[in-house]
Amino acid sequence: MRETQRTPETDSTDAYDLVILGGGSGGYACALRASQLGLSVALVEKDKVGGTCLHRGCIPTKAFLHSAEVADTARSADRFGVRATLERVDMPAVLSYKDGVVGRLYRGLSGLVSKAGVTVVEGEGRVEAGDDDTPDVVVGERRFRGRSLVVATGSFARTLPGLQIGGRIMTSTEVLELDDVPARTVVLGGGVIGVELASALASFGSEVTVVEALPRLVAAEDEAASTALTRAFTKRGITIRTGSRFESATQDDGGVAVTLEGGERLEADILVVAVGRGPVTEGLGLEEAGIEVAEGFVVTDERLRTSHPTVYAVGDIVKGLQLAHRGFAHGIFVAEEIAGRAPQPVSDHLIPRVTYSHPEIASVGLTEAAAREQHGDDAVATYQYDLGGNGKAQILGTAGFVKVVRVVDGPVVGMHMVGDRMGEQVGEAMLVVGWDAVPADVTPFLHAHPTQNEAIGEAMLALAGQPLHAHG
């Protein structure tokens, strides 16, 4: 390992093998892996290590959703033979639970980073070209130089032109700090973030309307999954307004009024703006340092190298799926690339996706429509196994399915699952798609009974012409 070289105080330049700007999922994963590989690492973070995912995104949102699941379970306890009532949802207690989960994970992560010997620099960093045209990260009066630089600054909650966030109009960040349950909520955006927050707030007892400009919810998912989610949400009393464009919103002490294109007006206590996330690249000095940016995203090749030969970019600032586990994978890949390990590039096609609503959607690979477009209609076959035939799903009281998309006489190219807790099954789905397995390759695998995991096995048996608890 090359020892960390520190120049005299008058120079105020600190030298490392690797400098990382941003301590979120991609940044800290890169730091930990690089340290394991013997590189000296400085990790610059203006907030807290863990980034949006740990502090304002994945973890607190899923804690909210678990509290929501408990509320739903209490409401429906009678169907399971348990006499219980739901007194109320205590939002301050929910916040305390959520903050406790985040706090424990943050302490654990901080310990990992410290033990790895990573130098954590607290402060807002900016990229500047150094004397030899090697970009440095400048934090206040200090300059951090690495043989390689990784930009991992993450993403922010987007809004819409003319829509001011504040008061009763909030993003996913502010909604996670609600201290009471709003009687009525309008969620603007029917993508993953929007439907997760809509699901949680409905379970807490809010009357929720989801407004989405596209023709269906979670439009990036297989159409069958979108249809199933819409049906389930409607059954839960959530109002779905797809194909509806937002025009304006006003607020006062009494509530918020949302006007849709055509003049229709919706009234609510809060408006949650969930129209996606944008890359944090503005004002960092990237383009001035010779790093190409397009539409806000850092431009990279498949090996995540930017237009500057010593600079890499990872995570949400690289165009594609904005998921924490993609950031982890990017960070690990770049650390190994810099260390000369020649790793396999990360493929968005093989990244599992989960929408943690009630019910959940879990998927990997191509949708049916994408498979038919890529391979041709006659070359694609699908099978959909209904969870109605799955013992554990019946016990849990959840509906849904496992849908498998395959090339005729060829491999499985996509899997799409709907149902409570189906996100826990996506790991096997990723292995099947990632290994280009044909159904007959999977049929010898044993799936424990009774589990929802059996639904994957049943779908594969049916596709292989050996149906057991399903029609072939």
Type of residue at 158: R
CA distance 370 to 380: 10
Question: Which distant-in-sequence residues (6+ apart) come within 8 Å of 462 by Cβ?
Answer: 383, 385, 470, 471, 472
Type of residue at 69: E
**CA-angle at 329, arms to 327 and 331, nearest 5°:** 70
User: In degrees rounded to 5, what are phi and psi of residue 374?
Assistant: -80, -40
CA distance 310 to 317: 17
Catalytic residue among 447, 449, 469, 471: 449
CA distance 310 to 329: 19
Beta carbons within 10 angstroms of residue 48's beta carbon = 17
Instruction: Evaluate the CA torsion angle 82, 83, 88, 94 in order and state its sign.
Output: negative
H helices of 37-90, where?
A: 51-55, 58-75
DSSP state, residue 149: E
Instruction: Evaluate the CA torsion angle 384, 388, 394, 398 in order and state its sign.
Output: positive
Strands (E), 318-374: 353-355, 361-365
User: In degrees rounded to 5, what are phi and psi of residue 313?
Assistant: -135, 145
Nearest in space to 369 (alpha carbons), one of 359, 382, 358, 357: 382
Measured N-to-C along each axis, helices 25-36 and 91-115 cross at an angle, to the nearest 10 degrees, of 30
Partners of 293 in the β-ladder:
298
Partners of 270 in the β-ladder:
185
- What DSSP line would sit under 300-317, residue for residue? --TT-B-SSTTEEE-GGG
Determine whether 449 is an active site residue: yes
Q: How buried is 44 (Cβ within 10 angstroms: 0-12 exposed, 13-18 middle, 19+ buried)?
A: buried
- What DSSP line would sit under 395-448, residue for residue? HHT---EEEEEEETTS-EEEEEEESTTGGGGHHHHHHHHHTT--HHHHTTS---
H helices of 213-312, where?
A: 223-235
Partners of 380 in the β-ladder:
407
Any idea which residues carry the catalytic annotation? 449
